[in-house]
Structure 1
C-alpha cells in the first residue's frame, strides 16, 4: 500500500487515521502470512485480499491463481461480513503473467482449461458480498472478472483493457478519489498504462515514414508531447510575443500542464501510430473490391472490412422486399469471406427510414392474408441472419434510424452514431408491434420504463439519449464522424479473425435460442397486426399526411 504521506492533500486524513488506530485495534487485525503472492488480512468484519506482486504490476502467475482460490475459500468460511480485493502499488492487476505461463505451458495445456474454469467458479460461487477496489490499471482477466463482483469502486484515472473487441458495459459501480473502510484508507493513484522507452523511440523514428504533412496543429502537438515525455512539464521561460514559432511551441508544451512523462509517452506513441497508419492507408491502393449483383445495396470489401451500404438515398434507404433479400444475401457472403469485421451503414442523409410502407398500399384485399404471412416469414428470416451472424457486426449510423433499422441495433456488437442521428420506433402510431428482438433486448439494455417510451409510446431518441440508454456505443461529431469511425474500424480489422469470431460466439451463444424464440413471437404478432383494421387505417392516414406535405 502506498504511504499517504506522499499525497499532501491527505495529511489531515492521515492524521485522523493514525490517531484512531489504537494498539488494541492493531492487535485485533488477523493477518494471514502463509501466502507468497497475496496479503490477506481480516479486521472489522472485512477480509482484504491484496494482490501483492507490485514489481510485476500484480500479474497473475500460477501461484497467485492458487492462492486467490485459497483466500476466497477461507474468506467464505470466516466471520467477516464482506470481502475486498485490491492491488498493491500502482496497478490493480496487469492480467496473466505470460512469462510464467510460457515456462509452464505443457502443464497448462495438459490441464485443458480446468484450472481457469475452477478459478472463475470460486468468484461465481462466493457467498458473501465481494467488493473490488480498483486502485490502478486493470488488464485481461482482472477486468473480465469484475462482472462477478457485487460492487466495483475505481479511481477516476483508471484504465480497463481486455485487448479484445468488446462493447462497453457498466463495470464500475462508482468512480472515486479515495475509498474508506473502517480498517484502511486507500488513496488510489490510478497510474495510466505506460509504453516502453523502446516503443517511444520507435515512434520517433516512424515520424520519418509520414508521406504527407499532418499540418501545423498536429506537429505542435507532437512536439509538445515529445518534450513532456523527455523533460517533463514546461519549465523554460515564455518567449517574446514576436517570436511566433517559439511561442507557439512553448504554448503547446505548457498546455500539457502536469501530465506525467509516462502518460505523455503513451499519447505520443498513439498519435504517431495513428498518423503512420493513416499515411500508409493513403499510399495503398484505395480501390475496394466491389461485389456486383445488387440493386438496393452496395457491397464492398477492403482492409479486412466488408461494408454493406443501404443504397436507396432517394427513398431515405427505406427497406423494400428486394433490399431485405439483398441484405440477407450480403450477410451470407460476408460470413464466408476473408474479412474480419462487417459494417452496415447508409448512403445519403439517412441511415434507414425503416420499412417501405408503399408496398402495403398495392396489396389486394383477397391477397392480404397470404402477403402478410409471406412478409412475416421474410422478416423472421431477416432478423435470424443478424442473430446468427458469426463475425463482429458494427453499425455506422450516419443519420436517422427508423423502425426495423433501429430495433435490430440490439443485435449488433457495436453501434457508432453521428450526433445528428435519431432513433424512432413509431409502432403504436402505425398500428404495429415491435420486431428485431427489441421487445426482449430493449428492456434488458435500457430498463423497462425507458424501453416502453420507445416501443409503446413512439419516443424519438437523440443520439446522445440512445447512447445513455445503451443502444448506441459512442457518439461522434458529424463533421468528423466518418474519419474517426473508419480509422477505428481499420484498427479493429487488424485483430486476429478467429479470436474475434470465437469471442463473439462465446458472448452471444448463451442467448441465441432465446432470441430466435422472441423473433418468432414478434413476427407472428406482426402478421396479425398487418391484417388488422387499426394497421390499415394507420397506413392510409400516414400517406394522407405525407401527401399534404
Structure 2
C-alpha cells in the first residue's frame, strides 16, 4: 500500500475549525512520509481518513480477488459508527506519533514530541442528558453522576478500552480532571492501564501539562517508566519544566 497513490488520503473538505485544519495538515504531511510507513499503519490511517471525510462505510465489500481494495474496505468498515471528529482526532494523533518533526501552531494543544491532548480536539456539541455515555460524564468531570454509574460497573468494565482505544482513566487524565481520577482509582481503575498505543494515564497528564494529575498519579503508584509503542516514557512527552521536575523527583524516590 505504500506504493499506492495517496490522493484519497489528501482530498480534504475545506473547514475552518482547529481540528479540521490540523487534520488537513496531517494528511498533507502523510504524503511526504508515506514511503517510510508500514502497510498496516497506512491501512489504519486510510480507515480514519475515510471515516473522517465520508462517515461510516456503506458500500459493498469488494470482490474476493481484489485483495487490496478488500483490505481497505475491512479497515474502514471496522470503525462502524465512529464520529467524524473522533476519526480526525485519531488521524492527527497517529501522524504526530509517526513523525516527531511534524509540528505547527495550527495543531491545537500540541505539546512536547507533538503529542495532542485528545479531549481538547473534540468538537463541543450539546448532548441530551439522557443520551450521555460514561465517557461523556468523564470528559465533563461530572463526578456526582459518574460515581453512581461507576458503582454499577464491574472492574473489567471500568478498565475496558472504548472504540477510540482509550480507557476512562485516559480520558480523565487527558481532561485534567483530578476529582475524576480520584474516583476512578478508588473504584479500582488500573492506574497503569495502557491504551491502544500503550500510553498510560501518566503519559496523558504529563503531555497535557496537568501538574496536579501527574502528582496524584505518581503518588498512587503510576509507573513512570512505561513506554508507549514509540518507546516514549511520560518524561519524554512532558509539556513543561514543572512536569519534568516532578517526574524526575519521583524517579529518585
Bin for the TM-score computed over the shorter chain: 0.3 to 0.5
**RCO comparison, higher one (Cα < 8 Å, 6+):** 2
Structure with max Cα Rg = 1
